[in-house]
A and B are shown apart, each in its own frame.
Chain A
Amino acid sequence: MALITRTAGALHRRPRLRLTLLLTAPLLWLAVLYLGSLSVLFVSAFWTTNSFTSEVVKVWSTDNFHELFTVPVFRQVILRSVGVALAVTALCAVIAFPLAFYTARVAKPKWRPLLVVAILTPLWASYLVKVYAWRLILSEGGLADWMLKPFGLSGPGYGLTAAVLTLTYLWLPYMILPIHTALEQLPANLLDASADLGARGWRTFRSVVLPMVLPSVAAGSVFTFSLSLGDYITVQIVGGKTQLIGNLVYSNIELNLPMAAALGTVPVVVIVLYLLAMRRTGALSSL
């Protein structure tokens, strides 16, 4: 007992030592595992392979990055991936806003926690189960086809659209939650004040609600954008022949590891750029 008391006392008198003991493990984890693997990835992107044996040759060259920007397939896939991530993010925002508005301000207060749970429920289910469910929905003669048939339409089938739809479904809760929180915290008397000064509903929405909730939309978009950009399984299951960056990384790992590494740095750079852009909106402080 005495020893414990003495140790606790000694720690109390040395805040620096306390902080060091507390942070060593997580910092090591971050530095070695996360930043370490990222630098290995980056370094190996500058290596090359023997085209006969597929063995990695540790010779410095910027050929891989040169190829990224010159080979049309790579350029297309990169642009397509960023496009998919942006489309998913935009769709999520458009769908999430009215939903969050309902759960945060329209629904009776006693129902709100239940609705939030309902929004979160899909996150408890396995990712693969959900994606395969969408594969069934979008299959030929599946639910989507069946529902659209009376209108003389058919479902999108497997392909880029299917991938965007499925990803939107997967990441929607990450968009709804921050918007819900922001709308819930919006002081009611600001809405009163706006109406009092002569603003109708639409004007209040544009001038008061939207600008105050926008940082949270941006916060949600950080999730939807980066999760979409990193995904490669969904597109394999419902994307038909569509290829995204993840698929190229995956298919290059065996044959050309340095090329895979070069491809792998692309989403990292894009996401860093995206985060920098979002930081300007104040999104990161509302995470």
Chain B
Amino acid sequence: MEGMAIRLQGLRKSFGETTAVAGVDLEIRDGEFFSMLGPSGSGKTTVLRMIAGFEAPSGGRIELAGQEVTGLAPFERDVHTVFQDYALFPHMTVEQNVAYALKVRKVPKAERLVRARKALAEVRLEGFGKRRPSQLSGGQRQRVALARALVGRPRVLLLDEPLGALDLKLREQMQVELKALQREVGITFVFVTHDQEEALTMSDRIAVFHQGRIEQVGTPAEVYERPATPFVASFVGTSNLLVGESAHRIVGAPGTYSIRPEKIRVLKESAEADQPEHSTAVGTVAEVVYLGDATRFLVDLDAGGRLTALQQNLETSSEDVAAYRGTRVRLQWHRQHAVAVPVPD
């Protein structure tokens, strides 16, 4: 155990003219729940496929548990994958699917069966062993894919947008279960997703991908509260940037600042700033969106630019909300919540 499950150095991948991955350096610790977050086409899935061995890198190096595996075939790596569309073998029963990795390793049949049943129990699918994948729902197939990948207890489990095909309720439930399962088995999970909320709720650490590069690696709180680049600020959470002249006027110093919508309070224009550590800006409400539990205000600032503010609906109801449109308001936030974002040249 040297504490590092995966180490990527200068990893690159081009498909003909297009560059999918443009130099990625990354270290993933043992036992970590690590998410690779980014929009589609940002290179996160390609990195995952290179770790699994499905794609050969155009350059760079991949290490698993301290061993270089860059040129090895998928079956030579102690890594198993949960595929986006599950990739269950349709001609095998659920049990045979789950036991496949053991059968390949020539584990005796009796032991195979016991371990497959145990893996199915882990994902709460006892009694489904004799069915075919086609007889299961999407959520159940998802669990079978998980059990199949976990049964051989790999060093690292790779998950390629595994919850993408599930509906919202099921997805939220699976997020909780997946996290619990990871804690239970203690295997390193590398989770690819384009859903920032999913990444924030489940991960120990997140790498944010953009155009084949990593923009920031950090804990969910770090990535959310202190985005390292304007892209991270806009992709993780709602885009809320103060730039140029208006930033200078409101914050008092030049630069680019990110303020999370829920940190901003919406007050009457006549309200005075409570305390010296608060910043305020006045503007006109351009749009109000009623979200049920909260209301989103889009405010055009007199100083220039637009900010989004999110208010819990503690007292307001949907009828009150519409009346805000076009009214003058004062926005107020704690100075420390306006985070300076370094702008790359």
- Chain A residues at the B interface, C-beta cutoff of 8 Å: 187, 189-190, 192-200, 203, 207-208, 211-212
Chain A nearest CB, measured from B98 CB (Å) = 10
User: Interface digits, B50-77 against A, CB 8 Å rule (1 contact, 0 not)?
Assistant: 0011100000000000000000011100
Query: Beyond A189-B83, A192-B74, is A198–B89 a contact (Cβ under 8 Å)?
Result: no
Residues of B within 8 A of A194 (CB): 89, 100
Which residue of B54, B79, B148 contacts A192 across the interface (Cβ within 8 Å)?
Answer: B54
Asked whether, in the complex, the Cβ of A203 is within 8 Å of the Cβ of B104, the reply is yes
Query: Beyond A192-B74, A193-B81, is A198–B87 a contact (Cβ under 8 Å)?
Result: no
5 inter-chain pairs at a CB distance below 8 angstroms, sorted by A residue, are: A189-B87, A190-B89, A194-B89, A196-B52, A198-B152
Asked whether, in the complex, the Cβ of A197 is within 8 Å of the Cβ of B87, the reply is no
User: Interface digits, B286-327 against A, CB 8 Å rule (1 contact, 0 not)?
Assistant: 000000000000000000000000000000000000000000
Q: In chain B between 79 and 127, which residues have their CB closer than 8 angstroms to a CB of chain A?
A: 79-81, 83, 85, 87-91, 100-101, 103-105
Query: Beyond A203-B104, A207-B100, is A195–B75 a contact (Cβ under 8 Å)?
Result: yes
Asked whether, in the complex, the Cβ of A196 is within 8 Å of the Cβ of B80, the reply is yes
Residues of A within 8 A of B100 (CB): 194, 197, 199, 207
Asked whether, in the complex, the Cβ of A200 is within 8 Å of the Cβ of B75, the reply is yes
C-alpha spacing A195/B77, complex, angstroms: 10
Since A195-B73, A208-B89, A212-B90 are in contact, a sample of 18 more A-B pairs with Cβ atoms closer than 8 Å, ordered by chain A residue number, is: A189-B83, A190-B87, A190-B89, A192-B54, A192-B83, A192-B87, A194-B89, A194-B100, A196-B53, A196-B74, A197-B80, A197-B100, A198-B101, A198-B152, A199-B75, A199-B104, A200-B73, A212-B91
Query: Beyond A190-B87, A193-B89, A208-B89, is A198–B54 a contact (Cβ under 8 Å)?
Result: no
Chain B nearest CB, measured from A209 CB (Å) = 11
C-alpha spacing A194/B105, complex, angstroms: 12
User: Interface digits, B149-178 against A, CB 8 Å rule (1 contact, 0 not)?
Assistant: 100100000000000000000000000000
Residues of B within 8 A of A212 (CB): 90-91
Asked whether, in the complex, the Cβ of B87 is within 8 Å of the Cβ of A193, the reply is yes
C-alpha spacing A197/B116, complex, angstroms: 14
C-alpha spacing A189/B83, complex, angstroms: 8
C-alpha spacing A83/B152, complex, angstroms: 47
Chain A nearest CB, measured from B160 CB (Å) = 10
Residues of A within 8 A of B80 (CB): 196-197
Residues of A within 8 A of B91 (CB): 211-212
Chain B nearest CB, measured from A210 CB (Å) = 10
Inter-chain contact total with CB atoms closer than 8 Å: 59
Which residue of B52, B83, B90, B104 contacts A198 across the interface (Cβ within 8 Å)?
Answer: B104
Chain B nearest CB, measured from A115 CB (Å) = 23
C-alpha spacing A212/B100, complex, angstroms: 16
Asked whether, in the complex, the Cβ of A197 is within 8 Å of the Cβ of B104, the reply is yes
Query: Beyond A203-B104, A207-B100, is A195–B74 a contact (Cβ under 8 Å)?
Result: yes
Residues of A within 8 A of B101 (CB): 197-198
Chain A nearest CB, measured from B341 CB (Å) = 38
Residues of B within 8 A of A193 (CB): 81, 83, 87-89
Closest partner residue, chain B, to A199 (CB atom): B104
Closest partner residue, chain B, to A195 (CB atom): B74
Residues of B within 8 A of A190 (CB): 87, 89
Residues of B within 8 A of A192 (CB): 52, 54, 74, 81, 83, 87
Asked whether, in the complex, the Cβ of B105 is within 8 Å of the Cβ of A196, the reply is no
C-alpha spacing A187/B133, complex, angstroms: 15
Residues of B within 8 A of A196 (CB): 52-54, 74-75, 79-81, 149
Residues of A within 8 A of B152 (CB): 197-198
Residues of B within 8 A of A207 (CB): 89, 100, 103
Asked whether, in the complex, the Cβ of B105 is within 8 Å of the Cβ of A198, the reply is yes
Chain B nearest CB, measured from A43 CB (Å) = 44
Q: Looking at A198, A203, A211, A212, which has the most chain B CB atoms within 10 Å of its CB?
A: A198
C-alpha spacing A203/B53, complex, angstroms: 18
Asked whether, in the complex, the Cβ of B148 is within 8 Å of the Cβ of A197, the reply is yes
Chain B nearest CB, measured from A131 CB (Å) = 39
Closest partner residue, chain B, to A282 (CB atom): B91
Residues of A within 8 A of B148 (CB): 197
Closest partner residue, chain A, to B103 (CB atom): A207
Asked whether, in the complex, the Cβ of B75 is within 8 Å of the Cβ of A189, the reply is no
Q: Looking at A187, A189, A203, A208, which has the most chain B CB atoms within 10 Å of its CB?
A: A189
Chain B nearest CB, measured from A183 CB (Å) = 15
C-alpha spacing A195/B74, complex, angstroms: 6
Chain A nearest CB, measured from B266 CB (Å) = 49
Chain B nearest CB, measured from A189 CB (Å) = 4
Chain B nearest CB, measured from A83 CB (Å) = 31
Closest 3 CB pairs of A and B: A195-B74, A197-B101, A193-B87
Chain A nearest CB, measured from B75 CB (Å) = 5
Residues of B within 8 A of A211 (CB): 91
C-alpha spacing A77/B79, complex, angstroms: 59
C-alpha spacing A195/B52, complex, angstroms: 10
Residues of B within 8 A of A187 (CB): 87
Residues of A within 8 A of B89 (CB): 190, 193-194, 207-208
Residues of A within 8 A of B73 (CB): 195, 200
Chain A nearest CB, measured from B30 CB (Å) = 20
Q: Looking at B54, B74, B80, B148, which has the most chain A CB atoms within 10 Å of its CB?
A: B74
